[in-house]
Amino acid sequence: MIPGSQTYSEREGVYSKSNSPSGNGNSMIYFDFIFSTGTNNETMIDPLVAEIVIVHSSLVDDIGYVTFWDTQYCCTPSLVLADQCEVPNRLIIEGIDTDPQKNGYKLFYWTTAVNDTVEFSESVEPMVSGFWYLIVANCDTQLMRNIFFQGSTIWESPFGYLPAQAYGNLIVQWILAILYFLGLVGWSLLLYKYRQDLHKYQHGVTILIAMSFIEELLWSVSYVVYNNTGSYEYGLVGVAVIFSAGKYTGIRFLLLLMGSGFAITVEKLSPLTITTMSIICFCYFVITTADLYITLQNLTQPVSTQETFIIAALLIVFNATIIIWIVCITLSTMKRAKNEKNAKYPMYRKLLIIFGIICGISIIAFFAVVSITFAGLQDAAYQWYWLLNTYWDWIYFAVTVYIAYVWKPDKDNKRYAYVSIVVNESGHVELEESIKSVEREDEEV
């Protein structure tokens, strides 16, 4: 339903035929709406008018009258008197050329004076790439009557139905899926080679790499399905959401274990520490799953603002708690290793440097999004806006690579796992006495 003097709008990125990065199909914006007045008054003198506008983002600011606090899209008698528009009870569109091939703009009307139902469908071929807007306006500013409508829209680029701003996501997901697959193959070969001397932490890394590969593969297939059909396979996307939440949680849990020195400088952690880590990470998994589910649900049916706010707030709290804990526990372990002149100290220093780089990239990306939003450059940045949606995928990939590098299987998996490797004053490495005795026994054998 569109109340009087209100509008309904959709926004999507579309490539024109002449500017598409791939594909030779159609470029089209199509709508099929069913309108009704929703009133039994068959003696209405003034007709109800629904105005449907398809306009390129470069011209969308020319629609309506901008005030200090709002944008008024419908022409009222008072605006006519102020010379801000010419025709009352109509959409304010003066000054826009209605040639879609010239300026990327087209206007349709549907009018009724009785209680009837009409199906109205049309299509437009975009001649300019970028974000396009479809606006349905009910400019009954005097009687404020409602217009009821339902239907569907189709936004198609030459390569398929995937939005132009998400085209880069499809490429990135496939690249990451291939990289994770190659990493899983290489990791599996190392596991097989040193299968007699594996540490349980390495099995956790195996699960993380496998989960990351499956997650990227599921999202890649989901994008392909959407590009081919114009709709998501929600069962497939639902499974991908679970794997995404599992990957995010797994990385944080392994970083907590690594930062605490588990299997590196200490043989085991206290039951309280392990239990606390497990509970917090499980809560993070549940909240992340709910957040991703809400994002998915919003594609078809908007979720209440209150639920969205609560989940977002909980996600921020638990995520901040885990990150702060990782940094603090890593600093503590690094300080202890430095005081003990442990040769594993540089590894923890590199880990903190990686955290610093991640935080720096996150801050830059945040201010980039805010700057683009306030400058009104979202529409102009449609070709590379996907970078702001995929940089976290690359960060997670880099962290996974570092974890796998630190814990890659070798012949000394358990021998030096949680041994204090001390650097003496002359710069030589000294092992704990227990390890020296083991090496002497090996030499005797």
CA atoms within 13 A on the CB side of 263: 17
Phi, psi dihedrals of residue 422, rounded to the nearest 5°: -100, 140
What is the β-pairing status of strands 429-430 and 422-423?
antiparallel
Alpha helices in 298-414 (DSSP H): 305-339, 345-374, 387-406
Beta bridge partners, 14, equal 130
Please identify which residue in the block is written with the tokens 């997901």: 173
Alpha helices in 159-270 (DSSP H): 167-193, 200-229, 234-259
Whether residue 202 contacts residue 409, with contact meaning beta carbons closer than 8 Å, is answered with yes
DSSP class of 91 = B
Q: All domains of the chain, ordered by start, with CATH?
A: 6-156 (2.60.120), 164-407+423-439 (1.20.1070.10)
- List all residues 6 or more positions away from 332 whose beta carbon is below 8 Å from its beta carbon: none
Residue ranges for the chain with pLDDT beneath 50: 41-43, 100-102, 416, 419-445
How far is 306 from 395, CA to CA, in rounded Å?
30
How far is 297 from 293, CA to CA, in rounded Å?
6
Count the neighbouring beta carbons within 10 Å of the beta carbon of residue 158.
Answer: 19
Query: Residue 423 CA to chain centroid, in angstroms?
Result: 45
Phi, psi dihedrals of residue 186, rounded to the nearest 5°: -65, -40
At 67 the pLDDT is 73
At 303 the pLDDT is 61
What is the β-pairing status of strands 65-66 and 71-72?
antiparallel
At 362 the pLDDT is 76
At 34 the pLDDT is 85
DSSP class of 156 = E
Tokens of 349: 């220093």
pLDDT digits (tens, 9 = 90+) for 326-361: 888 888 888 887 777 666 677 777 777 877 887 788
Sign of CA dihedral 297, 301, 307, 313: positive
At 89 the pLDDT is 82
- List all residues 6 or more positions away from 226 whose beta carbon is below 8 Å from its beta carbon: 161, 162, 232
Counted residue by residue, the chain has a size of: 445
The residue type of 432 is E
How far is 65 from 72, CA to CA, in rounded Å?
5
Whether residue 333 contacts residue 348, with contact meaning beta carbons closer than 8 Å, is answered with yes
Count the neighbouring beta carbons within 10 Å of the beta carbon of residue 417.
Answer: 18
| Structural element, H or E, at residue 309 | helix 305-339
Q: How far apart are the first and last CA of the chain?
A: 85
At 142 the pLDDT is 72
pTM value surpassing 0.75: yes
Q: CA of 169: how far to CAs of 26, 215, 305, in Å?
A: 21, 14, 27
